[in-house]
Amino acid sequence: MADNGTTGTAVVTGASSGIGAEYAGRLAARGFGLVLVARRAERLAALAERLRDSTGAAVETLVADLARTADVARVAERVAAPDVSLLVNNAGINGYGPFTEADPTLLAKVVDVNVVAPTALARAALPGMVARGRGAVVNVASLLAFAGSLPPGPLPHRAVYAGTKGYMVTFTRTLAAELAGTPVRVQVVCPGLTATEFHLSAGDSPVEGERQRVHDEGGMPAADVVTASLAALDTGEVLCVPGLADAGAVDGLAAAELGLRAGPGASVAERYRAG
Protein backbone atom coordinates (compact mmCIF):
# COMPACT_ATOMS: atom_id res chain seq x y z
CA MET A 1 0.00 0.00 0.00
CA ALA A 2 1.39 3.37 -0.93
CA ASP A 3 1.80 5.85 1.92
CA ASN A 4 -0.63 8.51 0.63
CA GLY A 5 -0.19 10.34 3.91
CA THR A 6 -1.91 7.63 5.88
CA THR A 7 0.85 6.24 8.08
CA GLY A 8 0.26 6.92 11.72
CA THR A 9 -1.60 4.60 14.06
CA ALA A 10 -3.83 1.80 12.83
CA VAL A 11 -6.51 0.36 15.10
CA VAL A 12 -7.32 -3.26 14.25
CA THR A 13 -10.23 -5.01 15.94
CA GLY A 14 -10.39 -8.77 16.14
CA ALA A 15 -6.62 -8.71 16.03
CA SER A 16 -5.84 -11.82 18.04
CA SER A 17 -5.99 -14.25 15.09
CA GLY A 18 -6.81 -14.75 11.45
CA ILE A 19 -7.43 -11.78 9.20
CA GLY A 20 -6.99 -9.28 12.03
CA ALA A 21 -3.59 -10.62 13.02
CA GLU A 22 -2.55 -10.56 9.37
CA TYR A 23 -3.59 -6.91 9.01
CA ALA A 24 -1.60 -6.12 12.15
CA GLY A 25 1.58 -7.69 10.83
CA ARG A 26 1.31 -6.13 7.41
CA LEU A 27 0.55 -2.65 8.71
CA ALA A 28 3.37 -2.78 11.24
CA ALA A 29 5.76 -3.70 8.44
CA ARG A 30 4.53 -0.64 6.54
CA GLY A 31 5.39 1.74 9.34
CA PHE A 32 2.11 2.05 11.21
CA GLY A 33 1.91 2.08 14.95
CA LEU A 34 -0.76 -0.30 16.14
CA VAL A 35 -3.61 -0.54 18.60
CA LEU A 36 -4.68 -4.19 18.72
CA VAL A 37 -8.19 -4.89 20.00
CA ALA A 38 -9.63 -8.29 20.92
CA ARG A 39 -11.06 -10.33 23.78
CA ARG A 40 -8.04 -12.61 24.35
CA ALA A 41 -5.43 -10.77 26.41
CA GLU A 42 -2.78 -13.48 26.14
CA ARG A 43 -3.06 -13.68 22.37
CA LEU A 44 -2.85 -9.90 22.04
CA ALA A 45 0.19 -9.66 24.31
CA ALA A 46 2.02 -12.38 22.39
CA LEU A 47 1.23 -10.80 19.02
CA ALA A 48 2.29 -7.37 20.23
CA GLU A 49 5.62 -8.72 21.45
CA ARG A 50 6.28 -10.50 18.15
CA LEU A 51 5.50 -7.39 16.12
CA ARG A 52 7.63 -5.12 18.29
CA ASP A 53 10.55 -7.54 17.95
CA SER A 54 10.17 -8.13 14.20
CA THR A 55 9.24 -4.63 12.99
CA GLY A 56 10.11 -2.17 15.75
CA ALA A 57 6.55 -0.86 15.61
CA ALA A 58 4.91 0.81 18.57
CA VAL A 59 2.13 -1.58 19.59
CA GLU A 60 -0.63 -1.05 22.15
CA THR A 61 -3.13 -3.68 23.21
CA LEU A 62 -6.70 -2.99 24.22
CA VAL A 63 -8.62 -5.95 25.60
CA ALA A 64 -12.29 -5.45 24.82
CA ASP A 65 -15.45 -7.39 24.06
CA LEU A 66 -17.25 -5.41 21.37
CA ALA A 67 -20.59 -6.89 22.40
CA ARG A 68 -20.35 -4.72 25.54
CA THR A 69 -21.34 -1.07 25.34
CA ALA A 70 -18.73 0.04 27.85
CA ASP A 71 -15.95 -1.71 25.94
CA VAL A 72 -17.05 -0.19 22.64
CA ALA A 73 -16.95 3.24 24.31
CA ARG A 74 -13.36 2.64 25.48
CA VAL A 75 -12.25 1.60 22.02
CA ALA A 76 -14.12 4.51 20.43
CA GLU A 77 -12.27 6.95 22.66
CA ARG A 78 -8.95 5.57 21.44
CA VAL A 79 -10.10 5.51 17.82
CA ALA A 80 -11.02 9.19 17.99
CA ALA A 81 -7.47 10.21 18.98
CA PRO A 82 -5.60 12.40 16.47
CA ASP A 83 -2.83 9.88 15.79
CA VAL A 84 -5.25 7.31 14.34
CA SER A 85 -5.19 7.30 10.54
CA LEU A 86 -6.55 3.84 9.83
CA LEU A 87 -9.36 1.83 11.41
CA VAL A 88 -9.81 -1.83 10.47
CA ASN A 89 -13.19 -3.06 11.68
CA ASN A 90 -12.40 -6.75 11.49
CA ALA A 91 -13.97 -8.22 14.65
CA GLY A 92 -16.96 -10.42 13.93
CA ILE A 93 -18.84 -13.47 15.15
CA ASN A 94 -21.16 -15.78 13.22
CA GLY A 95 -23.95 -17.11 15.44
CA TYR A 96 -24.62 -19.77 12.82
CA GLY A 97 -27.66 -21.97 13.24
CA PRO A 98 -31.30 -22.24 12.18
CA PHE A 99 -32.94 -18.91 12.99
CA THR A 100 -35.93 -20.48 14.72
CA GLU A 101 -33.65 -22.48 17.02
CA ALA A 102 -30.85 -19.97 17.67
CA ASP A 103 -30.31 -18.44 21.08
CA PRO A 104 -31.76 -14.92 20.93
CA THR A 105 -29.00 -13.67 23.22
CA LEU A 106 -26.34 -14.92 20.80
CA LEU A 107 -28.13 -13.37 17.82
CA ALA A 108 -28.25 -10.02 19.60
CA LYS A 109 -24.53 -10.36 20.23
CA VAL A 110 -23.92 -10.98 16.52
CA VAL A 111 -25.69 -7.72 15.71
CA ASP A 112 -23.80 -5.85 18.43
CA VAL A 113 -20.36 -7.05 17.32
CA ASN A 114 -20.93 -7.04 13.56
CA VAL A 115 -23.06 -3.90 13.18
CA VAL A 116 -23.31 -1.71 16.27
CA ALA A 117 -19.62 -1.73 17.19
CA PRO A 118 -18.12 -1.04 13.74
CA THR A 119 -20.67 1.69 13.11
CA ALA A 120 -19.82 3.35 16.43
CA LEU A 121 -16.08 3.06 15.81
CA ALA A 122 -16.34 4.46 12.29
CA ARG A 123 -18.37 7.35 13.69
CA ALA A 124 -15.67 7.97 16.29
CA ALA A 125 -12.84 7.86 13.75
CA LEU A 126 -14.15 9.70 10.74
CA PRO A 127 -14.79 13.27 11.95
CA GLY A 128 -11.15 13.66 12.95
CA MET A 129 -9.91 12.01 9.77
CA VAL A 130 -11.99 14.34 7.64
CA ALA A 131 -10.81 17.37 9.62
CA ARG A 132 -7.17 16.31 9.25
CA GLY A 133 -7.62 15.49 5.57
CA ARG A 134 -6.21 11.97 5.82
CA GLY A 135 -7.26 8.52 6.92
CA ALA A 136 -9.15 5.39 6.00
CA VAL A 137 -11.63 2.90 7.39
CA VAL A 138 -11.71 -0.73 6.28
CA ASN A 139 -14.74 -2.83 7.16
CA VAL A 140 -14.44 -6.60 6.89
CA ALA A 141 -17.67 -8.15 5.67
CA SER A 142 -18.21 -11.44 3.83
CA LEU A 143 -19.37 -12.84 0.51
CA LEU A 144 -22.31 -14.21 2.49
CA ALA A 145 -23.65 -10.64 2.28
CA PHE A 146 -24.68 -11.61 -1.26
CA ALA A 147 -26.00 -15.12 -0.48
CA GLY A 148 -29.48 -14.20 0.70
CA SER A 149 -31.59 -16.53 -1.46
CA LEU A 150 -29.26 -19.54 -1.34
CA PRO A 151 -30.38 -22.35 0.98
CA PRO A 152 -28.18 -23.84 3.71
CA GLY A 153 -26.03 -26.75 2.61
CA PRO A 154 -23.25 -26.33 1.78
CA LEU A 155 -23.64 -22.77 3.09
CA PRO A 156 -24.35 -22.38 6.82
CA HIS A 157 -27.60 -21.33 8.46
CA ARG A 158 -26.73 -17.65 8.47
CA ALA A 159 -29.76 -15.34 8.37
CA VAL A 160 -28.54 -12.90 11.01
CA TYR A 161 -24.85 -13.13 10.15
CA ALA A 162 -25.48 -12.56 6.45
CA GLY A 163 -27.81 -9.70 7.32
CA THR A 164 -25.12 -8.00 9.36
CA LYS A 165 -22.62 -8.35 6.53
CA GLY A 166 -25.16 -7.02 4.06
CA TYR A 167 -25.47 -4.01 6.32
CA MET A 168 -21.71 -3.48 6.27
CA VAL A 169 -21.63 -3.59 2.47
CA THR A 170 -24.45 -1.08 2.08
CA PHE A 171 -23.19 1.11 4.92
CA THR A 172 -19.68 1.30 3.49
CA ARG A 173 -20.68 1.89 -0.11
CA THR A 174 -23.15 4.59 0.86
CA LEU A 175 -20.63 6.18 3.22
CA ALA A 176 -18.03 6.19 0.45
CA ALA A 177 -20.41 8.21 -1.72
CA GLU A 178 -20.96 10.63 1.16
CA LEU A 179 -17.22 11.10 1.65
CA ALA A 180 -16.38 11.26 -2.06
CA GLY A 181 -15.35 14.92 -1.84
CA THR A 182 -12.82 14.29 0.94
CA PRO A 183 -9.38 12.64 0.97
CA VAL A 184 -10.68 9.98 3.40
CA ARG A 185 -11.22 6.51 2.00
CA VAL A 186 -13.55 3.74 3.12
CA GLN A 187 -13.56 0.14 1.95
CA VAL A 188 -15.56 -2.99 2.57
CA VAL A 189 -13.72 -6.24 1.91
CA CYS A 190 -15.82 -9.36 1.30
CA PRO A 191 -13.79 -12.53 1.61
CA GLY A 192 -15.25 -15.92 0.90
CA LEU A 193 -14.31 -18.92 3.00
CA THR A 194 -11.00 -18.06 4.68
CA ALA A 195 -8.53 -20.33 6.48
CA THR A 196 -8.91 -18.99 10.03
CA GLU A 197 -10.47 -20.00 13.35
CA PHE A 198 -13.79 -18.41 12.42
CA HIS A 199 -15.84 -21.60 12.15
CA LEU A 200 -14.46 -23.05 15.39
CA SER A 201 -16.83 -20.92 17.49
CA ALA A 202 -20.29 -19.43 17.02
CA GLY A 203 -19.06 -16.37 18.86
CA ASP A 204 -20.55 -16.88 22.30
CA SER A 205 -17.00 -17.39 23.55
CA PRO A 206 -13.57 -17.00 21.93
CA VAL A 207 -11.58 -19.98 20.69
CA GLU A 208 -9.41 -21.24 23.52
CA GLY A 209 -5.67 -21.67 23.45
CA GLU A 210 -2.66 -19.51 22.69
CA ARG A 211 -1.97 -20.97 19.25
CA GLN A 212 -3.90 -19.86 16.18
CA ARG A 213 -5.76 -22.66 14.44
CA VAL A 214 -7.51 -23.14 11.11
CA HIS A 215 -10.98 -24.65 10.70
CA ASP A 216 -11.30 -27.88 8.74
CA GLU A 217 -13.09 -26.28 5.78
CA GLY A 218 -9.90 -24.60 4.54
CA GLY A 219 -10.36 -21.58 2.30
CA MET A 220 -8.26 -18.64 1.11
CA PRO A 221 -5.24 -17.82 3.28
CA ALA A 222 -5.80 -14.76 5.46
CA ALA A 223 -2.63 -13.26 4.00
CA ASP A 224 -4.21 -13.21 0.54
CA VAL A 225 -7.34 -11.49 1.86
CA VAL A 226 -5.22 -8.73 3.37
CA THR A 227 -3.06 -8.43 0.26
CA ALA A 228 -6.18 -7.80 -1.81
CA SER A 229 -7.65 -5.37 0.69
CA LEU A 230 -4.53 -3.21 0.97
CA ALA A 231 -4.02 -3.18 -2.80
CA ALA A 232 -7.65 -2.17 -3.32
CA LEU A 233 -7.39 0.51 -0.66
CA ASP A 234 -4.42 1.98 -2.49
CA THR A 235 -6.31 2.13 -5.78
CA GLY A 236 -9.55 3.39 -4.27
CA GLU A 237 -11.76 0.33 -4.67
CA VAL A 238 -14.67 0.62 -2.24
CA LEU A 239 -15.95 -2.95 -2.59
CA CYS A 240 -13.10 -5.47 -2.55
CA VAL A 241 -13.78 -9.15 -3.26
CA PRO A 242 -10.37 -10.83 -2.93
CA GLY A 243 -11.06 -13.78 -5.21
CA LEU A 244 -13.09 -11.96 -7.88
CA ALA A 245 -11.33 -12.15 -11.25
CA ASP A 246 -13.82 -9.97 -13.14
CA ALA A 247 -14.04 -6.55 -11.50
CA GLY A 248 -16.91 -5.76 -13.87
CA ALA A 249 -19.19 -7.78 -11.60
CA VAL A 250 -19.12 -4.87 -9.15
CA ASP A 251 -20.28 -2.54 -11.91
CA GLY A 252 -23.01 -5.07 -12.67
CA LEU A 253 -24.18 -4.88 -9.08
CA ALA A 254 -24.43 -1.10 -9.31
CA ALA A 255 -26.37 -1.40 -12.57
CA ALA A 256 -28.82 -3.87 -11.03
CA GLU A 257 -29.36 -1.51 -8.12
CA LEU A 258 -30.05 1.32 -10.54
CA GLY A 259 -32.70 -0.82 -12.19
CA LEU A 260 -34.37 -1.50 -8.84
CA ARG A 261 -34.36 2.16 -7.94
CA ALA A 262 -36.25 2.91 -11.14
CA GLY A 263 -39.24 1.30 -9.44
CA PRO A 264 -40.56 4.20 -7.32
CA GLY A 265 -43.10 5.55 -9.78
CA ALA A 266 -46.33 7.44 -9.23
CA SER A 267 -48.42 4.29 -9.64
CA VAL A 268 -48.15 0.68 -8.57
CA ALA A 269 -46.57 -1.81 -10.97
CA GLU A 270 -49.08 -3.53 -13.27
CA ARG A 271 -48.31 -7.03 -12.00
CA TYR A 272 -49.61 -6.07 -8.56
CA ARG A 273 -52.98 -5.06 -9.97
CA ALA A 274 -53.97 -8.59 -11.01
CA GLY A 275 -55.80 -9.26 -7.75
Residues designated as active site = 161, 165
- C-alpha–C-alpha distance, residues 73 and 68, integer Å: 9
CA torsion sign, 168 to 11 to 121 to 94? positive
Strands ordered across the beta sheet of 33-38? 59-63, 33-38, 9-13, 84-89, 136-140, 185-189, 239-240
Residue 142: which of 216, 78, 92 has the closest Cα?
92
Using a 10 angstrom Cβ sphere, with 0-12 exposed, 13-18 middle and 19 or more buried, the burial of residue 17 is buried
Residue 90: which of 255, 212, 226 has the closest Cα?
226
- Give the pairing of strands 59-63 and 33-38: parallel
